[in-house]
Amino acid sequence: MAPHLSQAQRLQLVICISLCFFIAEISVGFYTRSLALIADAFHYLNDLIGFIVAYAALKISAKKDSPQDLSFGWQRSRLLGAFFNGVFLLALGVSIFLQSIERFVSLQQHDHSHNETPGAIDASVNTEDGTGQVFTLHDNHRHNNLQPSKRGHDLGMLGVLIHVIGDAANNVGVIISALIIWLTTYPARYYADPAISMAIAIVILSTSIPLVRNSGRILLESVPSGINLDDVRHDLETIPGVVSVHELHVWRLNQEKALASVHVTISNETISDFVQIAKIMNDCFHSYGIHSATVQPELGSALTSPSATSVDGQEDFSQPCQVKCGASCEVLTCCG
């Protein structure tokens, strides 16, 4: 039975393998003066950076102690690493796509009948095209996302997965490009390299964009998918004793944890039952997968008298927030 490896151990193994390939390729590349190997080696270096970022984020997120100025600790460190990896891959995809276009233009402007040996062709493919990292012997990052990003799925490890699977897919592109160029005599065979390179760039973009979007939305404290704030508000306002709610905020701390804060207006008659009302509100939040909520109570008749009647016949005490910042700092509040 194969031993079970933790995420940290898997990343350590991937980093060690990538480092060995980088050292081997950069050494042989300089020794043989092969630009293809050197280009491929530096692409491995790009992979290494992504893997190290993911590993560092994983280790940091496991820390129990954190500086006092980080009130939530390191819980978002893995998200930050995933976002960095996603942006890194996105930039790589754009670069390869633009260099593929440049390669197409270059081939159109020059005669394809120049005499090149297969080795020379291979070298030119790998040095002139930014996909030179795409089409030599290398495991470059041509990235492919196997699973949709969703709540509970590790976006940090997903970024690493895109690197690894993309590298494997890139090898297929290397083989296809080499076979077309070496085994055919059709004049347009040289377009195989930039064409496959462009296809891989599109795959990178199509997989890195969701990674950036999903991790970025959490960093922007978006509402968890599947939760409708109007539904939450409606359920809270149907709790006996609750007049209205306002300043309702729901956001994600990380992929697993959702938080909420709300101001709740209650009538004077039910103020003594606020603890029980708060427990019911917490149960309501729990049903939405929100297990940490801050509830601020306000009195319904403290400032205004009933002005309308709600749908169910109860008095409507809808009113502005009673505990709010003055006009001088209104624009500095979360909703200002």
Three-state SS sequence of 24-71: HHHHHHHHHCCHHHHHHHHHHHHHHHHHHHHHHHHHHHCCCCCCCCCC
Arithmetic mean of pLDDT, 24-37: 73
Read off the pLDDT band of 152 (50, 70, 90): very low
Structural tokens at position 307: 């002005």
Q: For residues 317 and 326, which has the higher predicted lDDT (pLDDT)?
A: 326
Q: How confident is the model at residue 233 (pLDDT cuts 50, 70, 90)?
A: very high
Sign, CA dihedral 45-51-54-57, equals negative
pLDDT higher at 55 or 116: 55
Q: Could you tell me which residues come within 8 angstroms of residue 12 by beta carbon, excluding any fewer than 6 positions away?
A: 55
For residue 320, what pLDDT is reported? 63
**Percent of the chain scored above 90 by pLDDT?**
20
Write the CA distances from 11 to 75, 163, 283, integer angstroms: 19, 12, 39
pTM: 0.67
User: Who contacts 259 (Cβ-Cβ below 8 Å, separation ≥6)?
Assistant: 250, 251, 252, 253, 290, 292, 293
Most confident of 77-91, 98-112, 132-146, 281-295: 281-295
- pLDDT, tens only, 160-211: 777 667 666 666 776 777 788 788 888 888 888 788 878 878 887 888 899 8
Q: What is the mean pLDDT of the chain?
A: 75
pLDDT over threshold 60, residue 19: yes
**What is the per-residue pLDDT across 40-73, written as a single tens digit (0 to 9) for each?**
667 677 778 888 888 888 888 777 777 878 888 8
- Where is average pLDDT lowest: 139-148, 184-193, 217-226, 233-242? 139-148
253 against 267, higher pLDDT:
253
Higher per-residue pLDDT: 332 or 147: 332
Of the candidates 112, 120, 131, which has an alpha carbon nearest to the alpha carbon of residue 176?
A: 131
pLDDT surpassing 50 at residue 14: yes
Q: Who has greater pLDDT, 287 or 333?
A: 287
Q: What secondary structure letter does DSSP report for 207?
A: H
246 strand-pairing partners: 263
**Residue-by-residue DSSP string for 118-146:** HHHHHHHHHHHSGGGGTSSS---------
What is the spatial distance between Cα 201 and Cα 92, in angstroms, rounded to a whole number? 8
Which residue, chain included where needed, has tokens 């040996």?
117
Q: Amino acid identity of 25?
A: E
Kindly give, in sequence order, each residue whose CB lies less than 8 Å from that of residue 296, ignoring residues fewer than 6 positions away: 247, 261, 262, 263, 264, 323
Q: What is the pLDDT of residue 307?
A: 41
Q: For residue 205, what pLDDT is reported? A: 86
pLDDT greater than 50 at residue 277: yes
Residues found in the chain: 336
Instruction: Identify the three-state secondary structure at position 216.
Output: helix
| pLDDT score of 238 more than 90 | yes
State the pLDDT confidence band at 32, using cuts at 50, 70 and 90: confident
* Over residues 254-265, mean pLDDT: 92
